[in-house]
Structure 1
């Protein structure tokens, strides 16, 4: 008796991925990259180095072979903790296919971004990264396609696992939760200071020490990320500005262009999402 099987997947109209490899043997100085976000899924994979990643209000310490997955509009930045090698690769996937990327989009913002495959899977992935580099250098598009699918297949097995961020002080956790929930209503940093009974200097120190940014920049990034979502939904530039908590539209446009090298109107009118 033979068994017959069949399966069918939804049509994948566009499979697009950008990526790069960084395998320099040169020591990189300790550095804090600025907060940013994308319209695609980013998968950052550490191969060697002393690296942490901040995603929204969570901070993750990576080991070699670990990955950080961020979905569209999820605020994040890379932190080189010390002078060290920084070997890594990074993918940006167009996430139009729910069949392929649903599991990679299922987490809440700033939750469970760290993916830590087991030792055997890390070894398999390492071999796939080398194969992908060879296929990329050879311009073998079919091989690139199949290898990236294999990489996604392995990472997907570990996406649903709970990932533990670094522990933050209770006071900072409460402040970050407040900003996450009320960023559009917070008018000044002094509002945070008075509400949480904390000095301005202590507030700045906590943000510098744990998130490697300032309260002002963190708040601006949250507002900008939300405004991008509103623009994608069809809101006008003025409505996106006001609803995200900016009081001055000209300042909003300046900040948007500074962060994304494009104006809010150009972003709204673009077809990339």
Structure 2
């Protein structure tokens, strides 16, 4: 089941910065059907790994991660955590709407860099800052200055260029060709599993097995996620619901509205109204 964050103002009576933080530590099985599938948000997500045999999928790339490593995803980027064994998975997630500055530091800094590997001392510093931010948000008695201090300490660490950027894991060339083909053609209604099978002369079972192996999803779900990502961008740019539907690869507007509502809890029209 996909967790839907509810972002709140950083401080009471403040409508400038909306954010939410969660801390999660639990034993997770690879075949657990309650795990999040690939998903998208309307805001930035900062994932901080504290433990677990996992990697992270962002759009078409898989990144290896270890304790203290950080994944930053931008609004409407497809992402999910990939589990490689039954393991204790511990992490923080912070969601942030675009910051009210002339230049959004998150968008500028992380347009291309998704995986951040900090020096050991900075890893411990940001972990401590996340625990402080989480604690200040969780307490019954508000501590606004402690909240703001820890929040901006996290941003300072992220935007200080004191990290290494790590390339995504290499995928087999034949699977990379399939992913590249989908990225180029997913806005075409004919881009479906059968079409991909015919294009690459592979059986449906082989295609599905490859997606399960490398992305832990189905090709149909992956294509649909990319279409929803594009549809939300188009709706945010002011296109009508019908235009966003057709231009993102859906051929049936009623089906698009039904699936959109099931996935995001609101209709495309309501989403656009709230966004604009």
Whether TM exceeds 0.5 here: the answer is: yes
TM-score (norm 1): 0.86
How big is the shift at 1:105?
Answer: 4.6
Moved more, 126-135 or 96-105: 96-105
2:21 aligns to what?
19
1:97 counterpart SS class: coil
Q: Distance in 2 between matches of 1:55 and 1:123?
A: 25
Is the contact between residue 40 and residue 76 of structure 2 (CA under 8 Å) also seen in structure 1? yes
The CA distance in 1 between the partners of 2:130 and 2:38, in whole Å, is 27
RMSD of aligned alpha carbons: 2.2
1:89 aligns with 2:92: yes
Which residue does the alignment assign to 1:8?
Answer: none
> Among residues 34, 37, 45, which one is paired with 1:34 in the alignment?
37
Query: 1:257 pairs with 258, 261, 265, which one?
Result: 261
Structure 2 matches for 1:1-273, cutoff 5 A? 14-22=16-24, 24=25, 26-30=26-30, 31=32, 32-99=35-102, 101-108=104-111, 111-136=112-137, 137=139, 138-158=141-161, 161-187=164-190, 188-271=192-275
Query: Quick one: distance in 2 between partners of 1:107 and 1:16?
Result: 19
Shift of 1:78: 1.6
Could you say if the C-alpha distance between residues 120 and 33 of structure 1 is closer, same or farther in structure 2, counting changes exceeding 3 Å?
A: same
> Do the aligned partners of residues 232 and 63 (structure 1) sit closer, same or farther apart at CA in structure 2, a change above 3 Å counting?
same
Shift of 1:162: 3.2
Determine if contact 1:115/1:158 at 8 Å carries over to the other structure: no
Is there any run of 5+ residues in structure 1 with no aligned partner, and where? Answer: 1-11
Residue 270 of structure 1 aligns to a residue whose secondary structure is helix
Mean Cα deviation higher: 93-102 or 46-55: 93-102
- Counterpart CA distance in 2 for 1:159 and 1:242 is 43
Q: Does the Cα contact within 8 Å between 1:66 and 1:115 map onto a contact in 2?
A: yes
1:258 aligned counterpart, secondary structure: helix
In 2, distance between residues paired with 1:246 and 1:56? 19
Deviation at 1:129, TM superposition (A): 2.4
| Contact kept in structure 1, 2:22 and 2:134, CA below 8 Å | no
Moved more, 43-52 or 196-205: 196-205
Offset of 1:145 from its aligned partner?
1.0
Contact 2:21 / 2:95 at 8 angstroms: preserved in 1? yes
TM-score, scaled to structure 2: 0.85
Instruction: Give the aligned length.
Output: 257
Structure 2 residue runs without a partner (length 5+)? 1-13
Secondary structure at the aligned position of 1:42 is classed as strand
1:230 to 1:133, Cα distance in 2 relative to 1, 3 A: closer
Larger Rg: 1
